[in-house]
Amino acid sequence: MFYLNTFVNWIKAPLIVVLFFISFHSFSQRSDNNKFIDEKTQILAKKSPDLERLSRVVVFAQHENWDSVLVNTQQLVQKVKDPKILDFIHYYRAEAFHKKGILKYALKEFSLVRNDFEFKTMVRFNRGGIFLLQENYNEALDLFKSIDTNDKKGVNMIRIDALLHNIGICYLHLQSYVKSENYLLRAIQKIEKRKDYVSLIHSYIALSTLYYEQYQDDKAITYFEKAYILSRKYGSKELKLNTALNMAVVEENRKRFDIALEYRKEYEIWKDSLNDQNKIYEVAQIEKRLAVEQKQQRVELLETENKLKQSRLTSYLIVAILLASILVFGIYFYRQNVLRSRVILHQKQELDLLNATKDQLFSIVSHDLRSSVHALGVSNNQLKDKVEKQEYSSLENQLEESSVIATNTYNMLDNLLNWALLQTNGGYFKQEMHRLSMLIDQVAYNFKGVLNQKDIQFENTIPKSVKVFVDAESLKIVLRNFMDNSIKFSNPGSKITVNLEKEEEGSVCFNWEDTGRGMSEETRIKLLSDSPQLTKKDHEKEIGSGLGMNLCKSMLAKNGGKLDIWSRKEEGTTMSVTLKK
pLDDT in tens, 312-360: 888 888 999 999 989 998 898 888 989 888 888 888 887 776 676 565 5
**DSSP β-bridge partners for residue 509:** 502, 578
Average pLDDT value for the chain: 81
- What is the pLDDT confidence band of residue 271, given thresholds at 50, 70 and 90? confident
Q: What is the pTM of this model?
A: 0.47
- What gap in Å lies between CA 164 and CA 149, rounded to an integer? 10
Closest CA to 137 of 88, 175, 99, 102: 175
- What gap in Å lies between CA 547 and CA 412, rounded to an integer? 8
pLDDT of residue 91: 95
pLDDT of residue 514: 94
Whether residue 147 contacts residue 156, with contact meaning beta carbons closer than 8 Å, is answered with no
Handedness of CA 200, 205, 211, 213 (dihedral sign): negative
What domains sit in the chain, N to C, each tagged with a CATH number? 426-580 (3.30.565.10)
pLDDT single digits (tens) 366-389: 545 555 565 566 667 767 776 777
Q: Is the pLDDT of residue 232 over 50?
A: yes
Whether residue 120 contacts residue 110, with contact meaning beta carbons closer than 8 Å, is answered with no
Of the spans 112-126, 291-305, 403-417, 444-458, which averages the highest pLDDT?
112-126
pLDDT of residue 212: 84
Closest CA to 200 of 189, 212, 216: 189
Query: How far is CA 399 from its chain centroid?
Result: 81
- What gap in Å lies between CA 30 and CA 478, rounded to an integer? 91
Full 3-state SS string of 265-297: HHHHHHHHHHHHHHHHHHHHHHHHHHHHHHHHH
Query: Percentage of residues in the chain with pLDDT exceeding 70?
Result: 79
Between vectors from CA 419 to CA 417 and to CA 420, what angle results, nearest 5°?
65
- What is the pLDDT confidence band of residue 21, given thresholds at 50, 70 and 90? very low
Give me the numbers of helices (H) and strands (E) for the chain, helices first please.
22, 7
pLDDT of residue 366: 55
pLDDT single digits (tens) 185-220: 999 999 889 888 888 998 999 999 899 888 888 888
pLDDT of residue 467: 94
SS3 211: helix
Q: Is the pLDDT of residue 183 over 80?
A: yes
Helix then strand then coil, % of the chain, to nearest 5? 75, 10, 20
pLDDT of residue 341: 87
- What is the pLDDT confidence band of residue 449, given thresholds at 50, 70 and 90? confident
Between vectors from CA 545 to CA 544 and to CA 547, what angle results, nearest 5°?
115
Q: What is the DSSP letter of 60?
A: H
- What gap in Å lies between CA 14 and CA 6, rounded to an integer? 13
pLDDT of residue 543: 44
pLDDT single digits (tens) 511-560: 999 998 888 888 888 888 876 555 555 554 444 556 778 888 888 999 99
- Mean pLDDT of all residues in 455-477: 92
